[in-house]
Amino acid sequence: MKRPPTPRQRIFDLYWYFAAERQAIFAKRAVGAPGPWTADPILSTYKFCNVFRAADRVSQYMIREVCYHQESVTAADRLFQIVAFRIFSNIATWQTVHDHLGRYPLLSDLANGNFTKALQFAQQQNRTLYTHAFILSPHNAYGQPRKYLNHIELFKHVFLVDNFAENLLQAASLQEIFLLLKHYPMLGSFMSYQIAIDLNYSDLINFSENDFTVAGPGALRGIKKAFEDTGDFTPEEIVLWMVDQQEEAFSKIGLSFRGLYGRKLHAIDAQGLFCELDKYCRVAAPELASARSRIKTKFNPQPQPIDYYFPPKWQLS
């Protein structure tokens, strides 16, 4: 039998407190309630991601405008669009590409160079094609002088040379999708996991988000702070253990957590919460030093409200 993890109790409880309070902020803002939305000075001062990954602004755009847009496309085109969008993770880039082409990019645009021209136009208009939300793997794998040109060659390799779309559609698990992605250059473990989750938002692929997870760098820092000893558990097993613990943990410290319109925390959310815990503790528990000592981004609410849209297959109430 595996030796169980030993929580660092105050920080472990902060994990659940953060989840409950940050989700309460989301719920208030989602219905248009006026601020302030929390009395927590850290949450009111600094920017933190939503508890549920699918509720963040970029994921919301991706779900509505990439996974479920109403333009007529093949399954392979849709899968290409999801992968390409996540690599850039930049709404402005995607909107400019769409406007330049007059539609969402297709594999035919990848093949004939129109997608490259649209990205070049987007770079001229927006100056940058990428966000800094994800750390991308070394980007010169295809010998091109610019990062985006290497990514175009990656897309060609994946979708035009290999039978990738069909392989995705035939995959038997979320982990298999992850491994299919990770096989390629420029797609490290964490990005491959993020793309696998994005693909799984669509109606083309449907696995439980609790089947498999990958702990990113921020989550690893958060786990180290939340536990004195992780026992015989891997970081991924810790994340899944937290998913299993959630109801008992919230109840034990008297917290109300209604989830996302009834949806409980899944592994992608639990691992993201560790990343946010690491950030929160830079102020709340500075004695737990890590590679990062401060929160860089202040909270600045966006003026544009989000009309929240989640995968219909989730059947959220």
To which residue do tokens 């992608």 refer?
A: 268
pLDDT of 135: 58
Per-residue pLDDT of the chain (317 residues; tens, 9 = 90+): 889 999 999 999 999 999 999 999 999 999 999 989 999 999 999 999 999 999 999 999 999 999 999 999 999 999 999 999 999 999 999 999 999 999 999 999 999 999 999 999 999 998 889 987 655 666 678 999 999 999 999 999 999 999 899 999 999 999 999 999 999 999 999 999 999 999 999 999 999 999 999 999 999 999 999 999 999 999 999 999 999 999 999 999 999 999 999 999 999 999 999 999 999 999 999 999 877 778 888 988 877 778 999 999 999 97
Q: SS in 3 state form for the chain? A: CCCCCEECHHHHHHHHHHHHHHHHHHHHHHCCCCCCCCCCHHHHHECCCCCCHHHCHHHHHHHHHHHCCCCCCCHHHHHHHHHHHHHHCCHHHHHHHHHHHCCCCCHHHHHHCHHHHHHHHHHHHHCCCCCCCCCCCCCCCCCCCCHHHHHHHHHHHHHHHCCHHHHHHHCCCHHHHHHHHHCCCCCCHHHHHHHHHHHHHCCCCCCCCCCCCCCCHHHHHHHHHHEEECCCCCHHHHHHHHHHHHHHHHHHCCCCCCCECCECCCHHHHHHHHHHHHHHHHHHCCCCCCCCCCCCCECCCCCCCCCCCCCHHHCCC
Looking from the CA of 202 toward its CB, the CA atoms found within 13 Å total 25
State how beta strands 227-229 and 6-7 pair: antiparallel
What's the token pair of residue 229? 């000893």
Length of the chain (residues): 317
Q: What is the pLDDT of residue 141?
A: 85
- And the tokens for 21? 């309070």
Kindly report the pTM of this predicted structure: 0.94
What residue has token string 């940050």? 22
